[in-house]
Amino acid sequence: MVPKKSSKADLENKKSLFFEIGLALSMLLVLMAFEWKSTRNIDLKDVKAPKITDFIEEIPITKPDEIKTPPSPNEVFYSDKINVIDNNLTPKQSPENIFTGEDINGLPPVISARAEEEVEEAVIIVQVMPKFGEGGLDEFRNEFVMKNLRYPEEAQENRISGCVYIEFVVEKDGSLSNFKSIRKADESLISEAIRVIKKSPKWTPGKHNGKPVRVKFTLPINFVLNEL
């Protein structure tokens, strides 16, 4: 009698075959899935491009602070003011220190002068100021300057007037030097003022601690023409 294998034992021998078939089917399904995804059509209408404005950050605009120009330095004025001469004054009302020159073309000129003292920077305090003659500064202003001034003809003809500031130095020996105008004015008026001051005789020099010192003066001379 020939022995027969059972059907169960026969299936055990085919187990490895079934495993290989299943593995092959699995790989096939995976490949089919990738192929299907790659061939899928993409609708470009659904794709929205990002807006450029989404990436731009708004930066607030700020104006630079205004640069303020510093004010210009104030002009340095002398402490003593120069009085304006009223040409309509009567003889009784005429102020002091007024000189009237010759009448040219019917235009009587008027000149006023008043002295100002200014000590050199090297001399802080002058104990004894320079002196002109016996009357000092008043005598120089009233008796010498006012009597020797002549209103320049060219200035009268051209109706030129104004105030000139002449600076000069009384030296240690009493002589005068360093004549110059310290403010802008008509050249003919400046020349006449310097001409007269240069003619001055020697002064008694100023002293400090018993020693002669150089002292600087500023003399304003106002040239005024009477109105027609």
**Could you tell me the pTM of the whole model?**
0.50
- 221 SS3 class: strand
Based on the domain organization, do 26 and 106 belong to the same domain? no
Full domain range(s) for residue 20 = 13-38
**Per-residue pLDDT for 112 more than 90?**
no
Of 72-86, 131-145, 169-183, 199-213, least confident by mean pLDDT is 72-86
Q: How many CA atoms lie within 13 A of 146 on its CB side?
A: 18
Give CA–CA dist 110/145, Å, rounded: 13
Based on the domain organization, do 28 and 97 belong to the same domain? no
Q: Is residue 117 part of a domain?
A: yes
Beta strands in the chain (DSSP E): 98-100, 109-113, 116-118, 162-170, 176-181, 206-208, 211-213, 215-225
Confidence band of 212 (pLDDT split at 50, 70, 90):
very high
Amino acid 168: pLDDT: 92
Task: Give the C-alpha distances (Å, rounded to integers) separating 77 from 81, 183, 220.
Answer: 9, 11, 12
Based on the domain organization, do 28 and 107 belong to the same domain? no
Q: Is residue 28 part of a domain?
A: yes
Q: Is residue 64 part of a domain?
A: no
Q: Is residue 51 part of a domain?
A: no
Q: Are 203 and 167 in contact (CB under 8 A)?
A: no
* Surface-to-core class of residue 197, CB atoms within 10 Å of its CB (0-12 exposed, 13-18 middle, 19+ buried): buried
Amino acid 22: pLDDT: 82
Q: Is residue 74 part of a domain?
A: no
Question: What's the mean pLDDT when you consider all of the chain?
Answer: 71
Q: Is residue 116 part of a domain?
A: yes
Q: Is residue 79 part of a domain?
A: no
Q: Based on the structure, what is the number of domains in the chain?
A: 2
Q: Are 110 and 225 in contact (CB under 8 A)?
A: yes
Q: Is residue 69 part of a domain?
A: no
Based on the domain organization, do 111 and 216 belong to the same domain? yes
For the segment 66-102, what is each residue's pLDDT rounded down to a tens digit?
A: 555 554 443 333 333 333 333 443 344 344 444 444 4
Based on the domain organization, do 27 and 109 belong to the same domain? no
Number of other residues whose CB lies within 10 A of the CB of residue 94? 13
Based on the domain organization, do 204 and 104 belong to the same domain? yes
Based on the domain organization, do 105 and 26 belong to the same domain? no
For the segment 18-51, what is each residue's pLDDT rounded down to a tens digit?
A: 788 888 888 888 778 776 655 555 454 555 555 5
Based on the domain organization, do 17 and 99 belong to the same domain? no
